[in-house]
Every structure is written in structure tokens, then in C-alpha cells.
Amino acid sequence: MPIEWTGFGPELLLQIDRDRPEPLRDQLESALREAIRAGRLATGERLPSSRALARDLGISRGLVTECYAQLQAEGYLVTRPGAATRVAAAASAAASAAASAAASASASAAVRPRPAATAIARVDFRPGLPDVSSFPREDWSRALRHACRDAPAHLLGYTDPYGDRALRDVLAAYLRRVRAAAADGAHTVVCAGYAQGLQLVLRALAGEGVRTVAVEDPGDPDQRVIAATLGLGVVAVPVDEGGIDTGALAATDARVVVVTPAHQSPTGVVLAPERRQALIAWARANDATIVEDDYDAEFRYDREPVGALQGLAPDRVALIGSVSKSLAPGLRLGWILCPPHLSAAIAHHKGLADRGSPIIDQLALADLLRSGRYDRHLRGMRLRYAARRTALVEALRRHAPAVELRGLAAGFHTVAQLPPGTDEQAVVTAARRRSVGLYAMSDYRLEPRPGPAQLVLGYGNLTADAISEGIDTIADLLRGG
Ligand SMILES: Cc1ncc(COP(=O)(O)O)c(C=O)c1O
């Protein structure tokens, strides 16, 4: 769909060179044809009125009208009496084919994505996706309106790469309140979600001489790709029932480790208290840094709250959080609670990356947090996810009671342990044929370690009915059939 520009005529950058011998009319015609062929103007898109374009280019209106008539005759434009001139359908078909070929070429050159979503699945148990249809649109619109209305003009210039100070202070107070973090707005950097946060922290550490990063195995496959693109080596440290194996970590030469202590991704285990202490002792003894991925700590059901590791050692831990689970991943908003000695370097890299996150969004998030609407949204979402979790547990109890669920106490994904001898990938492939998206634990294993057959089931973006339908459809596969 083309953008339907409303209001006054859209502006259009076309270059006319009065020093060239070619007549102005020919130049204008060629420039317009080229803009359509190159996809700068899409099918159905409205052109400026002849009066507006003539004024912008400093040429006569008659000349523009003649050009439009010529391009209409050639099939590039359509004009109806009394209506705007628009790009004709046939004109940009070739251009859009060229554009989509270019897009798919660049997508295939991209770094390895997280386990791919099953595009055609009727019921997709993709982990990591919150209930995006429950995004608090009214609250966010209100917060955006306030931000836009009240932002002082100076904030609309180039601003602090650390992020807006008011948001940083609100975030710090919020994280002190709900995560027992030792947060200080002065050392908080606003970033574009966890993915960017991790890159900024690793860049800062690479600048201090770090060469190897330890990551949890199984873990988020993107981390390995991110570290590799920064030229850092990666060591995979096994995770067991108590979280990351701190003994195995100590045997590596890594000076930074990335962990998910509150709810290990993807196994769902909580880092055991003695391992928390061991991790901090390791960091202190080795002048090392712990990167704490605090990705879904807001959602906890039947277990005691686990405070952030950062609260125990703010000088050694960089906590990264985002609104990707609490609001929506598409907002691309996150934060880093930096160890004080690293905050300037992290903010420096943020400035280099994109000169700071979008200010209106930052102010809106501050407003949402301050107004209490963020907490209210989370309270509602906890109930919703708890109901979905119950639906999953019950569907499995009904249809595949031998399947054991793990890591259910928090977040909105769980690990389903399949009967011994089941082939994980065969189950995934067979389920996809029935239009049910499943994701194998082996997609998250960095080293080929033997392990039980398991699936990582995300239920955050599925209704209770969809969950039941999905499990019902694949019950025989889960039973090992
Ligand atoms: C382990 C883990 N950490 C963090 C995130 C959030 O990433 P981001 O904030 O870049 O959207 C995700 C998203 O799925 C995740 O799986």
C-alpha cells in the first residue's frame, strides 16, 4: 500500500540543472520517470500538484502540466479531473520487482537470525514473543501526546547519548523498586533494546582489551553472532539445574560472561544462590564483567521474586533490560545499568551508533512509568500469561501426560521434555506439516552436547483456545508417536 500523504501536496526532490543544454521539460520528465523506476514513488502514490512542483522548481506551471500529460500518455501517471495525479499501477511493477530482489539479497546476507518463525503456522509456539495484541495503545498514545506537547525545544536537538536524564532517573527508580537493582540515573544508558545494549557493552569491553566472551549453553544464538561480528571469541559454558556452571566458567579465559540469572533463556532455571555468589566472586577475582540479561523478570508466577544480580555488585554487573517483553519488541527501547567505570565508554558507543535513542519515545516511556500505567499494564499481563500457562499445562495433561514441563515459574515460555528416544527435529518437522510451529532445544545449543529431547514452547502470543488447539493437533507427536 502506498503512503496516503494527507494535507498539503507532498514534496518531491527532483533535480533540474539550468546549465545543461537539455530542455527543462525533458529533464523534468526524465527525473520523474527515474523516480518511479527506482521505486522512490510507488504505485498509487500522489504527486505534488503542478502548482506546488512548479513553485518548488522555479519553473512555469504549464511546463509541469505538459510533463504530467506526457507521462500519463506513456502510462507512468494517472490523472482524473479534479483529483490528484498519481503513479500508475503498471509503471512501478518493474521497479517493485527490482526492489524486492534487492531486499531479499540483503536479507540473505544478514547475520544468522534467532530460530526462524514458522510463517505459515496456524498455531506458532515461537518463544520470545509477548502478546502484541495487548499492547496498551491508549496509554502509549496518551504518553506520546504528552511527550510531544511538553518536550522543551532544546530536547529536539542533538541530545545526550546517555539518553534523556528524566527517563534515566525514572528507570533507575523503577528498577530499584521492582528489581532491587543498585540503579543510578547517572550511569544508566538508554538503548534500542537488548540487542543494541549487548553490542554497546561488548564494544566498550573490547576497548578495554577483552577478547573472549562466555555465554550460556544452551542460550540465545544471537549472542554468539553479535560477539563474532565484534571480533570477539566465544566460549559456551554449560547450564544445568542451578544455572550456568561457574566452575566451568572459571576454567575459561573469558573476562566477560553473559547470563540470564532470573530465568535462564531458554531452560527457565533460576541461578542458584551459591552460583550467584560464585559468579560475583569470579568477576571480582578476575577483574571481569557480568552482563545480566534481565529480559522477562517482570513475569513471575508461583515462586519467590529474584532480585537482579546487579544489585549485589553494581561495579561488576552491566544489567540490560528492555520493553520487548513488557510492552512490545517493535518499540526498540531498552536500558543499560552500567558499571560506573564503563558508562562513559558505553554512552560513547551509543553516540557513535545512532546519536541517541528517539527522544519522544524516551519521554513517552518516562511518562508511562511515572503515571503508573506501566505497572497497571504489567499487572494485567501477568494474569493473562498465567491463564495461558494454565491452558498449556492442562492441554498437555489431557493429551500428552508423559511430557514434563520445566521452567514454568516465570516468563512466557517453557521447556517440554519429550519421552526418551523421541527425535526432536522429527517432531518439529512433522508439526510444521500440520501448521503448528515448534522450536527444538537443539536450535539453542551452541556445542553439540548430548541432552534430552526437548522443545522450547512460547505461549505469550497465543490465546488459551489456540494453545489447546495446537497441542491437540500434535498430541500424538508429543507422546512419541
Ligand atoms: C534471551 C533474550 N534476551 C533479550 C531479549 C530481548 O531482546 P530485545 O530487547 O533486543 O528485543 C530476548 C527476546 O526475545 C531474549 O530472548
pLDDT tens over the chain, length 481 residues? 777 777 666 788 888 888 888 889 889 999 998 888 878 788 888 888 888 889 888 899 999 999 998 888 888 898 887 888 999 887 755 444 444 444 444 333 334 445 555 555 799 999 999 999 999 999 999 999 999 999 999 999 998 999 999 999 999 999 999 999 999 999 999 999 999 999 999 999 999 999 999 999 999 999 989 999 999 999 999 999 999 999 999 999 999 999 999 999 999 999 999 999 999 999 999 999 999 999 988 888 876 778 999 999 999 999 999 999 999 999 999 999 999 999 999 999 999 999 999 999 999 999 999 999 999 999 999 999 999 999 999 999 999 999 999 988 889 999 999 999 899 999 999 999 999 999 999 999 998 878 899 999 999 999 999 999 999 999 999 988 6
Residue 120 confidence (pLDDT): 58
Alpha helices in 237-294 (DSSP H): 246-250, 273-286
Residue from 216, 217, 220 whose mutation best tests the ligand 1 pocket (most atoms within 8 A of CB): 220
Residue from 239, 263, 324 whose mutation best tests the ligand 1 pocket (most atoms within 8 A of CB): 324
Residue from 129, 190, 259, 265 whose mutation best tests the ligand 1 pocket (most atoms within 8 A of CB): 265
Alpha helices in 38-164 (DSSP H): 50-57, 61-73, 93-108, 137-150
C-alpha count within 13 angstroms, C-beta hemisphere, residue 68: 21
Q: Is the CB of 216 under 6 A from ligand 1?
A: no
Q: Is the CB of 292 under 6 A from ligand 1?
A: no
Residue from 194, 244, 258 whose mutation best tests the ligand 1 pocket (most atoms within 8 A of CB): 194
Residue located nearest, by CA, to atom 6 of ligand 1: 194
CA 306 to ligand 1 centroid distance, Å:
19
Residue from 191, 320, 322 whose mutation best tests the ligand 1 pocket (most atoms within 8 A of CB): 322
Q: What atom of ligand 1 comes closest to residue 260's alpha carbon?
A: 1
Q: Is the CB of 295 under 6 A from ligand 1?
A: yes
Tally of CB atoms within 10 A around 289: 25
Q: Is the CB of 294 under 6 A from ligand 1?
A: no
Q: Is the CB of 163 under 6 A from ligand 1?
A: no
How far is the C-alpha of 256 from the C-alpha of 345, rounded, in Å? 16
Closest CA to 142 of 349, 372, 358: 372
CA 181 to ligand 1 centroid distance, Å:
19
Q: Is the CB of 264 under 6 A from ligand 1?
A: no
Backbone phi and psi for residue 257, each to the nearest 5 degrees, phi listed first: -135, 140
Q: Is the CB of 334 under 6 A from ligand 1?
A: yes
CA distances from residue 255 to 35, 252, 283, 342 in whole angstroms, order as listed: 52, 9, 8, 14
C-alpha cell at 92: 512501478
Q: Is the CB of 293 under 6 A from ligand 1?
A: yes
Q: List Cβ neighbours of 334 (8 Å cut-off, separation of 6 or more).
A: 190, 191, 192, 193, 194, 196, 197, 320, 321, 322, 323, 324
Closest CA to 308 of 180, 198, 178, 171: 180
Global pTM exceeds 0.85? no
Residue in the block written with cell 553490542: 199
Q: Is the CB of 322 under 6 A from ligand 1?
A: yes
Q: What atom of ligand 1 comes closest to residue 128's alpha carbon?
A: 14
Q: Is the CB of 326 under 6 A from ligand 1?
A: no
CA 322 to ligand 1 centroid distance, Å:
8
Residue 11 confidence (pLDDT): 80
Q: Is the CB of 233 under 6 A from ligand 1?
A: no
Q: What atom of ligand 1 comes closest to residue 266's alpha carbon?
A: 1
Burial class (CB in 10 A: 0-12, 13-18, 19+), 15: exposed
| 3-state secondary structure (DSSP) of residue 34 | helix
How far is the C-alpha of 162 from the C-alpha of 187, rounded, in Å? 8
Residue located nearest, by CA, to atom 13 of ligand 1: 128
Alpha helices in 135-192 (DSSP H): 137-150, 165-179
